[in-house]
Amino acid sequence: MSLRRTLAVMRKEALHIVRDWRSLAMALAVPLLMLLLFGYALSLDVDRIPTLIHDASRTPQSRELLARFQGSRFFRILGEVSRYRELEDAILRDRCLLAIAVPRDYARRLLAGEQVHVQLLIDGSDSNTAAIALGYAEALIQDYALQLRRQWFDRLAGAELKLPVEPRLRVLYNSTLESRNYIVPGLIAVILMIIAALLTSLTIAREWETGAMEQLLSTPVRPAELVLGKMLAYFVLGLIDTLTAVAVGVLVFDVPLRGNPLLVVLSSCIFLTGALFWGILISAAARSQLLAYQASLLTSFLPAFLLSGFVWAIENMPVPIQLVTYAVPARYFIVVLKGVFLKGVGLRLLWGELALLAAYAVLVFVAATRKVRQRLA
């Protein structure tokens, strides 16, 4: 393989990129727009839950309980209704997500030391949000019930009630539990996978359609030099997108970068190489630009978004799907990004994922070279 011929292919492809300024502008702007759009729009945080109240008791005791909801940042009290049926109607019309119904005999049963029930009505059409909101409400009521039990015990026994086991919570790596810190590093991997595959998926297919490939056939350029030269031209563009995405994640979304930034650059370079080679493989297999575009989008966006652990935990997927995720390179890159960004770990713990990404890049390079050789034969 000749370095001179490889650089010549790279220079030819770079000139084509620069001359097509519309595609160049899109290649630089789309990752930034996607990161901003998904970063702000895609959130797993459930707070300020729209809540309606029906207080049939209207006593100081019931108001004390409802004040807990009003003082919590997780609930946004929309107001009170006078009839119970209005709660169900409000949920049906999507006016609120949660409704609290306090019974008429709440204060009497509470002062008598009896167990009293407070009803929570929740819109279960969005099961994930409903489960989180229900957990918040139950935890708040249980904490209030425990406080009442302590007060009741203090009055009867004249001593403070102490729990035999009291949990002390300490959240590591994401102390504020903001989903943005979890989503943005994975989002960087998904965007780079999509952009890298799309950038190179049209190169060889376009040359077959325009007739430029016949001119390349008359040159002494070998398949490996053709594949590597095209990849290097788009690698520079992909690296600019990577640095832009990382800068936006840190400066705009305030995602902590606790690890070594050089490790982010190294892992991104390895991941970009494999993703660019994958686009070239698709382009060599499909002589139509439309088919290459559709295939690259199908094989990059869907696996990277659904099967990489970007949003949904792989451990919660069915076992056959979990086995499929091992073939998704974005899975390993996301592990590296989250480890460096949030945990500050280094090569000692992430070398396995980096080795798999490097192996993937080599395998795709070999496959792309063979496919180009078959096309040129």
Tens of pLDDT along 206-258?
776 676 666 666 677 787 888 888 888 888 888 888 888 888 888 888 888 88
Average pLDDT over residues 181-185: 83
What is the rounded CA–CA span in Å between residue 271 and residue 189?
9
Helix, strand, or coil (residue 227): helix
Phi, psi of 221 (to 5 degrees): -65, 130
Structural domain range at position 268: 3-43+178-376
Tens of pLDDT along 246-282?
888 888 888 888 889 999 999 999 999 998 888 888 8
Lookup: tokens for 345:
């770990």
pLDDT of residue 218: 66
Statement: residue 177 has pLDDT above 60 = yes
Our CA dihedral for 366, 368, 371, 375, rounded to 10 degrees, sits at -130
Statement: residue 161 has pLDDT above 60 = no
Tell me if 86 is assigned to some domain: yes
Give yes or no: residues 20 and 70 share one domain: no
Give yes or no: residues 134 and 238 share one domain: no
pLDDT band at 160 (very low <50, low <70, confident <90, very high): low
Give yes or no: residues 38 and 63 share one domain: no
Nearest to 277 by CA among 376, 366, 213, 195: 366
Give yes or no: residues 188 and 61 share one domain: no
Statement: residue 289 has pLDDT above 80 = no
Q: What's 20's DSSP letter?
A: -
End residue of a domain, out of 103, 124, 157 = 157
Give yes or no: residues 140 and 288 share one domain: no
* Phi-psi category of residue 241: left, alpha or beta, with phi > 0 → left and psi -120 to 50 → alpha: alpha
pLDDT of residue 166: 61
Query: For residue 25, what are the contacts with CB-CB under 8 A and spacing of at least 6?
Result: none
Statement: residue 178 has pLDDT above 70 = yes
The residue ranking higher by pLDDT, 171 or 121, is 121
Residue 363: count of CB within 10 angstroms of its CB? 12
Give yes or no: residues 62 and 15 share one domain: no
End residue of a domain, out of 157, 190, 222 = 157
Give yes or no: residues 234 and 342 share one domain: yes
Query: What value does the mean pLDDT of the chain take?
Result: 82
What is the number of structural domains in the chain? 2
Give yes or no: residues 36 and 54 share one domain: no
What is the rounded CA–CA span in Å between residue 107 and residue 59?
7
Give yes or no: residues 347 and 237 share one domain: yes
Tell me if 115 is assigned to some domain: yes
Tens of pLDDT along 27-45?
778 788 888 887 777 766 6
Tell me if 170 is assigned to some domain: no
Tens of pLDDT along 60-80?
888 888 888 888 888 888 888
Give yes or no: residues 59 and 189 share one domain: no
Statement: residue 359 has pLDDT above 90 = yes
Residue 221: count of CB within 10 angstroms of its CB? 18
Statement: residue 375 has pLDDT above 70 = no
Statement: residue 354 has pLDDT above 90 = yes
Lookup: tokens for 144:
């209030």
Please tell me which of 151-165, 217-231, 304-318 the model is most confident about, judged by mean pLDDT: 304-318
Tell me if 124 is assigned to some domain: yes
Average pLDDT over residues 82-95: 86
Tell me if 171 is assigned to some domain: no
pLDDT band at 155 (very low <50, low <70, confident <90, very high): low
Tell me if 163 is assigned to some domain: no
Give me the percent of the chain exceeding a pLDDT of 90. 10
pLDDT of residue 333: 92
End residue of a domain, out of 94, 123, 157 = 157
Tell me if 164 is assigned to some domain: no
Give yes or no: residues 311 and 364 share one domain: yes
Q: Please report which residue ranges of the chain form alpha helices under DSSP H.
A: 3-19, 21-41, 60-70, 85-92, 106-111, 127-157, 179-201, 203-210, 212-217, 223-251, 261-285, 289-306, 319-325, 329-338, 347-376
pLDDT of residue 212: 67
CATH number, domain with residue 112 = 3.40.1710.10
Give yes or no: residues 208 and 148 share one domain: no
Q: What's 343's DSSP letter?
A: I
pLDDT of residue 88: 84
What is the rounded CA–CA span in Å between residue 251 and residue 179?
17
Tell me if 169 is assigned to some domain: no
The residue ranking higher by pLDDT, 8 or 338, is 338
